[in-house]
A and B are shown apart, each in its own frame.
Chain A
Amino acid sequence: MFIIKCPYCGNRDHSEFSYGGEAHIVRPKQPTELTDDQWAEYLFMRKNIKGLQYERWNHAHGCRRWFNMARDTSNDKIHSVYKMGEKPAK
Chain B
Amino acid sequence: MSNKFRLSTGGQISRTERISFKFNGKTFFGFKGDTLASALLANGVHLVGRSFKYHRPRGIFSSGAEETNALVQVIKDKGKTDPNLRATQIEIFEGFNAESQNCWPTVNFDVGAINNLFSPIIPAGFYYKTFMWPANLWEKYEHFIRKAAGLGKSPTENDPDIYDHKYYHCDVLIVGTGPAGLSAATVAVKAGKKVLLVDERSHSGGNLSFADEELTKINELKPLEWIKKTCSELQNNKNIKILNRTSVAAYHNYNYLIMMQNLSDHLSEKEKKGKIRQRLWKVRAKKVILATGSIERPMVFDCNDRPGIMLSSAVRQYINYYGVKCGNNVVIFTNNDDAYETAISLHNKGVKIEAIVDIRSRSDGDLPKKCNELGIKILWKNTIVYTEGYKKINKVHVMELSNDNSSTIRNKLKINCDLLCVSGGYTPAIHLFTQSGGRLIFNEEKYYFHPKSASLSQISVGSCNGTFSLKKIIEETQTKTNEFLNLTHNNQYNITESKSGNFENIWLLPSDKISGKTKPFVDYQNDTTANDIKLALREGYKSIEHVKRYTTTGMATDQGKIGNMHALGIVSEITNTKMSELGTTTFRPPYTPLTFGAIVGRNVKQFFDIVRKTPIHTWHEKHGAKFEDVGQWKRAWYYPNKNESMYEAVQRESKAARNDAGILDASTLGKIDIQGSDTSEFLNRVYTNAWSKLAIGKCRYGLMLNDDGMVYDDGVTTRLGDNHYIMTTTTGGAASVMNKLEDFLQTEWPELNVYLTSVTDHFATVSVCGPHSKKILEKVVKNVDFSDQNFSHMSFKEGVIDNIKCRVMRISFTGELSYEINIQSNYGQATWEKCMEAGKEFGITPYGTEAMHLLRAEKGFIIAGQETDGTITPVDLQMDWIISKKKYDFIGKRSLYRSDTMRENRKQLVGLLTSDPKEILEEGAQIVEEVKSKPPMDMLGHVTSSYYSPNLNKSIALAVVKNGKKLKGKKLFVPMPNKIIEVTVSDTVFLDKEGVRLNA
Interface residues of A (CB under 8 A from B): 1-3, 13, 20, 26-27, 31-32, 34, 36, 39-40, 43, 56, 58, 60, 64-66, 75-76, 84-85
Set of chain A residues within 8 Å of B284, measured between Cβ atoms: 3, 13
Q: For A27, give the chain B residue with the smallest CB separation.
A: B748
Instruction: Contacts A13-B284, A85-B750 known; list 4 others, CB within 8 Å.
Output: A2-B253, A34-B894, A39-B894, A66-B743
Please give the distance in Å from A17's CB to the nearest CB on chain B.
13
Q: For A66, give the chain B residue with the smallest CB separation.
A: B746
Q: Are the CB atoms of B437 and A75 closer together than 8 Å?
A: yes
- Quick one: given A27-B748, A31-B894, A56-B747, are A36 and B899 in contact (CB under 8 Å)? yes
Set of chain B residues within 8 Å of A40, measured between Cβ atoms: 898
Q: Are the CB atoms of B889 and A32 closer together than 8 Å?
A: yes
Give A69 to B134 CA distance when docked, in angstroms. 54
For the complex of A and B, list the 3 residue pairs with the smallest distance between their C-beta atoms, beginning with the closest: A31-B894, A1-B256, A66-B746
B942 within 8 A of A: no
CB within 8 A of B893: which of A20, A26, A31, A58? A31
- Quick one: given A36-B898, A39-B894, A66-B743, are A84 and B252 in contact (CB under 8 Å)? no
Set of chain A residues within 8 Å of B252, measured between Cβ atoms: 1
Q: For B891, give the chain A residue with the smallest CB separation.
A: A27
Q: For A34, give the chain B residue with the smallest CB separation.
A: B894
Set of chain A residues within 8 Å of B256, measured between Cβ atoms: 1
- Quick one: given A39-B898, A43-B895, are A76 and B750 in contact (CB under 8 Å)? no
Give A70 to B331 CA distance when docked, in angstroms. 61
Q: Are the CB atoms of B750 and A84 closer together than 8 Å?
A: yes
Set of chain B residues within 8 Å of A27, measured between Cβ atoms: 707, 748
Please give the distance in Å from B895's CB to the nearest CB on chain A.
7
Chain B interface size, as a band, is 20 to 34
CB within 8 A of A31: which of B455, B708, B742, B889? B889
Q: For A68, give the chain B residue with the smallest CB separation.
A: B747
CB within 8 A of A84: which of B746, B888, B893? B746
B254 within 8 A of A: yes
Tally A-B pairs: CB < 8 A: 47
Give A20 to B740 CA distance when docked, in angstroms. 11
Interface residues of B in 867-925 (CB under 8 A from A): 888-889, 893-895, 898-899
- Quick one: given A36-B899, A75-B437, are A2 and B254 in contact (CB under 8 Å)? yes
Q: For A85, give the chain B residue with the smallest CB separation.
A: B750
Q: For A38, give the chain B residue with the smallest CB separation.
A: B894
Q: Are the CB atoms of A39 and B895 closer together than 8 Å?
A: yes
Could you jot down 23 A-B contacts, CB within 8 Å? A1-B253, A2-B254, A3-B284, A13-B284, A20-B743, A27-B707, A31-B893, A32-B894, A34-B894, A39-B898, A40-B898, A43-B708, A43-B895, A60-B739, A64-B742, A65-B746, A66-B746, A66-B747, A75-B437, A75-B455, A76-B253, A76-B254, A85-B750
Give A64 to B755 CA distance when docked, in angstroms. 13
Please give the distance in Å from B286's CB to the nearest CB on chain A.
11
Set of chain B residues within 8 Å of A39, measured between Cβ atoms: 894-895, 898
Q: Which of A31, A34, A60, A84 has the most CB of B within 10 A?
A: A31
Q: For B256, give the chain A residue with the smallest CB separation.
A: A1
Set of chain B residues within 8 Å of A43, measured between Cβ atoms: 707-708, 895
Q: For B746, give the chain A residue with the smallest CB separation.
A: A66
Set of chain A residues within 8 Å of B746, measured between Cβ atoms: 65-66, 84
- Quick one: given A32-B894, A36-B898, A43-B895, are A84 and B254 in contact (CB under 8 Å)? no
Set of chain A residues within 8 Å of B888, measured between Cβ atoms: 32
Set of chain B residues within 8 Å of A31, measured between Cβ atoms: 889, 893-894
Q: For B899, give the chain A residue with the smallest CB separation.
A: A36
Q: For B455, give the chain A residue with the smallest CB separation.
A: A75
Interface residues of B in 147-166 (CB under 8 A from A): none
Q: Which of B254, B708, B893 has the most CB of A within 10 A?
A: B254
Give A64 to B748 CA distance when docked, in angstroms. 16
Interface residues of B in 419-454 (CB under 8 A from A): 437
Set of chain B residues within 8 Å of A34, measured between Cβ atoms: 894
Give A43 to B900 CA distance when docked, in angstroms. 14
Q: For B750, give the chain A residue with the smallest CB separation.
A: A85
Q: Mark B44-55, 1 if CB is under 8 A from A, else 0.
A: 000000000000
Set of chain B residues within 8 Å of A76, measured between Cβ atoms: 253-254
Q: Are the CB atoms of B254 and A3 closer together than 8 Å?
A: yes
Set of chain A residues within 8 Å of B899, measured between Cβ atoms: 36
Please give the distance in Å from B747's CB to the nearest CB on chain A.
5
Please give the distance in Å from B743's CB to the nearest CB on chain A.
6
Give A1 to B707 CA distance when docked, in angstroms. 32
Please give the distance in Å from A83's CB to the nearest CB on chain B.
10
Q: For B258, give the chain A residue with the smallest CB separation.
A: A1
Set of chain A residues within 8 Å of B893, measured between Cβ atoms: 31
CB within 8 A of B747: which of A60, A64, A84? A84
